[in-house]
Amino acid sequence: MAKVVDLTVKNRHPMTLRSASSRKDSKEVPVDLNTAMSKALQNPLVLDVIFANLGLPDLKTSRLVCKEWADVGATFLGRRALLRVNKLLSYEGSEPAKMASVNDKLMRRLLISNKFDSSIPTNRKADVITRALTQVDNVSQLTREIKFLVSRKEFVPAFLEGIRMLGSTKIEHVGIFRAWGDNSVDTIPAEAYQNLPPQPSLTSLKFEALTDVEQDFCNCNEFRPLIQLWLDSAPNLTSLDVTTSFYPNLADCTNLRVLKFKFIRCCDEHHPNLNVSNVTKMLAQVKDSLVKLELCHDMYYYSFMQLIQSAEEVPVMSKVTSLAIHAGEIFEIQDFYNEEHFPKLRSFSVRSGLKAASLFSHLSFWSRHRGVHSVTLDMDFGSREVQEFGRKMIDLFPAVKVLDLRLDPTFCAFTGDISATFHQGESVSTSAAIYLFMIPFQMWDLKRVNICLKVNKSAWLIDALKGISVLKGVKRVLFIFPCIYDKKDNFSTSFVQDVILHSGPFKSVEIRINEMEPEIMERLQLIVEASGAPIHFIGRRE
């Protein structure tokens, strides 16, 4: 985001327009403020409706029209855009220059990054970060969100010093993204991690350790005290989103309701891999407050450490209603995924990762859970017996009412696995396997079904419609053709008629074809519109 200064009043008629002639000859043309149109365009309620539909570039430009538009536009910008606050400061020679004025409404969301005014000397950039927090008016009262992109280690002490000087603030969300490289100082001084003032308004924290693109792993242990410092200062924290190679101490997070924990492999030889015992110890600290839990892992580096746990070490997550596990084969915790340890669980989501059989592996750690009413599956389509999977899901979660399924058979098509086994080892095509995959789910008394299916052959689409149609509930399906490999798939009129024929049981059928010519797309859409079928063809440009 470019520098945004206060352009609301200076030498400007209350409402003027510029002529459409050349820039050299352009001049401000007064507008009659008594017309109905002029009055409407000064009405805050009308402007709210207009500005709510503008993109950020148009929203910034609209603020140049008049004072009324500048004020209303500032409100929307403050809610939707991040202000690069460190770019407000500059130097004149060797001395700091007077800071540009900023509309108070733009102070709601701030970004501190490695983008500085070109006049800032390299050895003064850390000081600028502290000044950006302390010399800009009313940060502690007006700002609700700060995003800090840490490009150099020496910026960390400067940022923390600025927060200390602000004292207790009204900041509600802090996001810190670590991305420093080898050009930073060796270590961050221990004295930089002095306690922060209490932040009672702070309810949401996000920390993400971004890996260096030239390195396989990152060392996140230097990140640990920075995270803990903020956790200790936020007594009312309710949401934590953390991507690290260690396990934060959450003992004082007594109000934490949402936890997203993503483990990334670290180059530190003492903490290289995931330790599920440490995961359960971390969860035990928030077992009585957590409502929503998401567990993730960097799948590019699949390795973990499974330790034998006693029943006492596995916590009872007494209030968790929503559980999402991405890379399910990593978080395989014995005697954990059941009604006893998740008594209020209602929503379960799992992503299988890159291995076709990994979802089966994870489900072997589950016991029947009759409380789960919503299931989301994001999986590749492998050669595992297609109907065995459905029967396993129904046995584990018999009370499901909502099914969200994201299926990608095209991944296995790339690897040569284009068939699936059925019954006594009988091999069937991928198209037929998709149909067979859906059949067992008709045993669920579903109320709603949402399915996203990647396909690269039109025959897959027809068989998928047949299989999904047997499911109960209101059905919506999205087919995505990332690429069209079979040149015979010209999506003829007869193909469209087949889609129309099988679309009757559906609330909506969307077909996204990335490589389709706009003219062909328009012709297909005209055919389905004439039929009244709930089908919509979507091209790349939509």
> Using alpha carbons only, what angle is made at residue 207 by residues 220 and 374, rounded to the nearest 5 degrees?
115
Domain assignment present for residue 396? The answer is yes
Q: What's residue 360's pLDDT?
A: 74
Tell me which of 61, 79, 97 is where a domain ends. 79
Q: What's residue 452's pLDDT?
A: 93
Domain assignment present for residue 501? The answer is yes
Q: Which two tokens stand for residue 487?
A: 């040149």
HSE, side-chain direction, 13 A CA sphere, residue 66:
19
How many domains does the chain divide into? 2
For 439-476, give one letter per residue: b (16+ CB within 10 A) or e: ebbbbbebeebbbbbbbbbbbbbbbbbebbbebbbebb
83 phi and psi, to 5 degrees? -90, 120
Q: What's residue 21's pLDDT?
A: 37
Domain assignment present for residue 173? The answer is no
Q: What's residue 55's pLDDT?
A: 67
Domain assignment present for residue 519? The answer is yes
Q: What's residue 258's pLDDT?
A: 98
Residue pair 354/299 in contact by the 8 Å Cβ criterion? yes
Domain assignment present for residue 442? The answer is yes
Task: Write the single-letter amino acid at 287.
Answer: K
Q: What's residue 416's pLDDT?
A: 40
Range of the domain at 438: 373-542
| Strand stretches in 27-119, DSSP E | 28-30, 83-84, 91-92, 95-96, 109-112
Domain assignment present for residue 3? The answer is no
The CATH number covering residue 475 comes to 3.80.30
Q: What's residue 533's pLDDT?
A: 92
| Cα 129 off chain centre by | 27
State how far the alpha carbon of 1 is from the alpha carbons of 57, 110, 116, 176, 490, in Å. Answer: 10, 11, 12, 18, 44
Residue 138, exposed/middle/buried by CB under 10 A (0-12, 13-18, 19+)? exposed
Contacts of 357 (CB under 8 A, 6+ apart): 382, 384
Return per-residue pLDDT of the chain as tens, 542 residues: 334 433 333 333 344 444 333 344 444 545 555 565 555 556 666 666 666 666 666 666 766 667 666 666 666 666 666 788 888 888 877 777 777 777 777 788 888 888 888 788 888 888 888 888 888 778 888 889 999 988 788 888 989 999 999 999 999 999 998 766 555 556 777 788 889 999 999 999 999 876 543 344 455 666 788 899 999 999 999 999 998 888 999 999 999 999 999 988 665 555 567 888 889 999 999 999 999 999 988 755 555 555 555 666 789 999 999 999 987 667 888 889 999 999 999 999 987 654 556 677 778 889 999 999 999 988 776 545 566 788 889 999 999 999 999 888 765 543 344 444 444 445 556 777 888 888 889 999 999 999 999 887 777 888 889 989 999 999 999 998 876 655 555 577 788 888 999 999 999 999 988 777 777 778 888 888 899 999 998 876 54
Q: What's residue 538's pLDDT?
A: 83
Pairwise CA distance, residues 55 & 41, whole Å: 18
Domain assignment present for residue 316? The answer is no
Residue 414, exposed/middle/buried by CB under 10 A (0-12, 13-18, 19+)? exposed
Tell me which of 56, 79, 102 is where a domain ends. 79
Domain assignment present for residue 160? The answer is no
> Using alpha carbons only, what angle is made at residue 154 by residues 153 and 160, rounded to the nearest 5 degrees?
95
